[in-house]
Amino acid sequence: MEELLTKTKEELAGLLPDLPAFRVGQIFEWLQRGADFSEMSDLPKALRERLSAGFVAQGCRIEQKFTAGDGTAKYLLALRDGNLIECVFMPHGYGNTLCLSTQVGCRMGCRFCASGQNGLVRNMTAAELLSQVAVVNRDNGGDARRRALSNLVLMGCGEPLDNYDEVTAFLRAVSDPEGLNISLRSISLSTCGLVPNMLRLADEGLPVVLAVSLHAADDKKRKVIMPVANRYPVEEIVDAARTFFRKTGRRVIFEYAMIRDFNISDGDAERLKELLRGFPAHLNLIPLNPVEESAFASPGRAECERFLKKLHELGLSATVRRSTGREVQGSCGQLRRRYEAGRADRGGEA
């Protein structure tokens, strides 16, 4: 069945040509609010039934929610085919942020990440991506006009640039001034370094912040933790990031998971300095979020501070970000994997 959530008002009118403009406007508004057809209380019952029989309103619904003391909430969302995805709501003084998933699973296979351990199940559609935003916005008291979300980060499960067409369609839909109207400048898109699609994105006219998952400054170390390093050398990835910055004028952030006894020596800091020479980029250092299935360990606070100090001495812009979500079932992919393991133990019920 056709998904309606990413349709513009004009596209909706084209699909429902017998409806007057005000009815189309009502349906559009309800969809953006995260509602299903059965909840569209100002539509005639017969129209609600007709819509339910032919179209999909929301691509996901909340299966479970885990809330931490600081207000961070991790959502387990069920897609219509029974697949589960995760997203994380993070309240901040300057506005609330939602970290979205872009695929069910991931085929990039990063060794420190739970999402990639069972490979890719499937890409999410643009409408499913937008539904994540709509249902979490609604759950936090927002609607299409008074949003409870001001920032989005595409850093949950999946590699956004491995699902390029759906992700770019989502970015256009979520920033539609008639819809949720979230500014593209308030959206960060993370990639592990898919060079051809980084270059495509630079020409797309979508001024998002690009966040590149670097995690090591040389190919030898990157290959240990990120299979994508076998396809794209780190120099090419940084060159593509420079092109993105030159063409869009938008900031580039390099994400760097600090891993004990692996990538936080003085030599690592010096290689970073060489790699990023002349690039006004920022390094976001994150102590590794421990994943049960991984052999890698998180460094202590003193080790993190020492590495940060060394980077600053070398003139690099860097900050340490405490990883959110440990209280709410750990890093991306862990919640879904635990829940699905429990579902299997319970005999496979939803």
| Active-site residue set | 86, 332
At its nearest, how many Å lie between ligand SF4 and the CB of residue 157? 5
294 binds ligand SF4 (CB under 6 A): no
Single residue of 59, 142, 158, 330 touching ligand SF4 by CB under 6 A: 158
- For residue 271, CA distances in Å to 235, 274, 286, 294 come to 11, 5, 18, 25
Q: Is there a contact between 12 and 24 (Cβ–Cβ < 8 Å)?
A: yes
- Distance separating alpha carbons of residues 23 and 7, to the nearest angstrom: 15
Q: Which is nearer to ligand SF4, 109 or 233 (CB)?
A: 109
What's the residue count for the chain? 350
160 binds ligand SF4 (CB under 6 A): no
Single residue of 99, 108, 189, 240 touching ligand SF4 by CB under 6 A: 108
- Distance separating alpha carbons of residues 92 and 349, to the nearest angstrom: 36
Q: Which is nearer to ligand SF4, 173 or 192 (CB)?
A: 192
Positive/negative CA dihedral, 325, 329, 332, 335: negative
113 binds ligand SF4 (CB under 6 A): yes
DSSP H helical ranges for 19-155: 21-32, 45-54, 126-139
| Residues in a beta bridge with 311 | none
Q: How many residues bind ligand SF4 (CB under 6 A)?
A: 11
Q: Which is nearer to ligand SF4, 108 or 130 (CB)?
A: 108
Q: Is there a contact between 205 and 249 (Cβ–Cβ < 8 Å)?
A: no
Binding segment for ligand SF4 among 8-16, 102-110, 285-293, 315-323 (CB under 6 A)? 102-110
Residue with nearest beta carbon to ligand SF4: 116
At its nearest, how many Å lie between ligand SF4 and the CB of residue 115? 4
253 binds ligand SF4 (CB under 6 A): no
Within 186-245, the residues that bind ligand SF4 by CB under 6 A are 192
116 binds ligand SF4 (CB under 6 A): yes
Tell me the two tokens of residue 13: 């009118």
At its nearest, how many Å lie between ligand SF4 and the CB of residue 155? 8
φ, ψ of residue 210 to 5 degrees: the values are: -95, 125
159 binds ligand SF4 (CB under 6 A): yes
- Distance separating alpha carbons of residues 168 and 174, to the nearest angstrom: 10
157 binds ligand SF4 (CB under 6 A): yes
Single residue of 76, 79, 110, 283 touching ligand SF4 by CB under 6 A: 110
Contacts of 282 (CB under 8 A, 6+ apart): 251, 252, 253, 254, 317, 318, 319
Name the residues that contact ligand SF4, by CB under 6 A: 106, 108-110, 113, 115-116, 157-159, 192
